[in-house]
Amino acid sequence: MLASAISALVLAATASAHIVISYPGWRGNNLITNETFPYGMQWTYPCGGTPVTGNRTYWPTTGGALAFQPGWFRGHASAFIYVNMGFGDDGPDGGPANMSFPVIHPFQILGPSNNPYPGTVCLPQVPLPKNMTVQPGDNATIQVVELAAHGAALYSCVDITFLEPGDERIAEVNATNCYNSTEIGAADIYTITTRESGSDEYVSAADPALSLSVFGAPLLGWLPLLGAGIWAVL
């Protein structure tokens, strides 16, 4: 079904790249290029050109599932994926003022090719931001960012209202609406510090003093364990 939907969209549009949030839903179709969005809606921060919506979907107060289809249109043989949340209604569109609360470590997706491809990625338990607690009835927005190989980002969002886990108004998560397709691989992203802030000393990868991190979280403790395996993804 996705494959045929993709062909239809590819015929209908000329833009490259794009992402669809399939669970728990999205603000609406922003796979659009027109006079208002001559480069394509999804390149627009923070939510791909879609303002906050009234048709919120329900999501557990303890965090929950997120599924998306990253391969609409060309240009995503690989991409980095970020997931953030925003809270409050102080933003220019009456939604969150910012989407500055990351909820996962970014990771890379590995598509089968640079052409449009079907398939989904499922994150079964996306947590709330660290130290954040919410009450049933509170609102938030989940933002999925797909960072293309050239560094520009595509945005798509879904507006949610929190409910107690297990509330029957939360759409069931199952192997039909949340699964990882075989054709979309994944990779962890690491950085290696080559010079600390405040230091003039450069560190080479062979130096035992190097500092390895998964996007900000120091990994020094793991270093001996990771050993050779890690170099494959760098």
Ligand X SMILES: *[C@@H]1O[C@H](CO)[C@@H](O)[C@H](O)[C@H]1NC(C)=O
Question: Which positions lie near ligand X, rule CB under 6 A?
Answer: 25-26, 28-29, 32, 34-37, 53-57, 87-88, 96-98, 100, 107, 121-124, 130-131, 137-139, 158, 161, 171-172, 174, 176-177, 180, 186
Residue 139 beta carbon to ligand X: minimum distance, rounded to whole angstroms: 4
Q: How far apart are CA 175 and CA 160, in angstroms?
A: 22
Radius of gyration from C-alpha coordinates of the chain: 19
Q: How far apart are CA 133 and CA 124, in angstroms?
A: 19
The residue with its CB nearest to ligand X is: 25
Q: Which is nearer to ligand X, 35 or 200 (CB)?
A: 35
Strand-pair partners of 188: 107
Residue 163 beta carbon to ligand X: minimum distance, rounded to whole angstroms: 12
Q: Which is nearer to ligand X, 142 or 212 (CB)?
A: 142
Q: How far apart are CA 184 and CA 196, in angstroms?
A: 35
Peptide bond just before 46 cis, omega within 30 deg: yes
> 134: Cβ–Cβ under 8 A, 6 or more apart, which residues?
61, 128, 140, 162
Residue 50 beta carbon to ligand X: minimum distance, rounded to whole angstroms: 8
Q: Which is nearer to ligand X, 164 or 207 (CB)?
A: 164
Residue 217 beta carbon to ligand X: minimum distance, rounded to whole angstroms: 11
Residue 94 beta carbon to ligand X: minimum distance, rounded to whole angstroms: 9
Q: Which is nearer to ligand X, 97 or 233 (CB)?
A: 97
Q: Which two tokens stand for residue 87?
A: 């809270």
Residue 206 beta carbon to ligand X: minimum distance, rounded to whole angstroms: 29
In a 10 Å sphere around its CB, with 0-12 CB exposed, 13-18 middle and 19+ buried, how is residue 88 labelled? middle
User: Residue 201 CB: number of other CB atoms within 10 A?
Assistant: 9
Contact status, residue 47 vs residue 60, Cβ threshold 8 Å = no
Q: Which is nearer to ligand X, 102 or 210 (CB)?
A: 102
Q: Which is nearer to ligand X, 123 or 212 (CB)?
A: 123
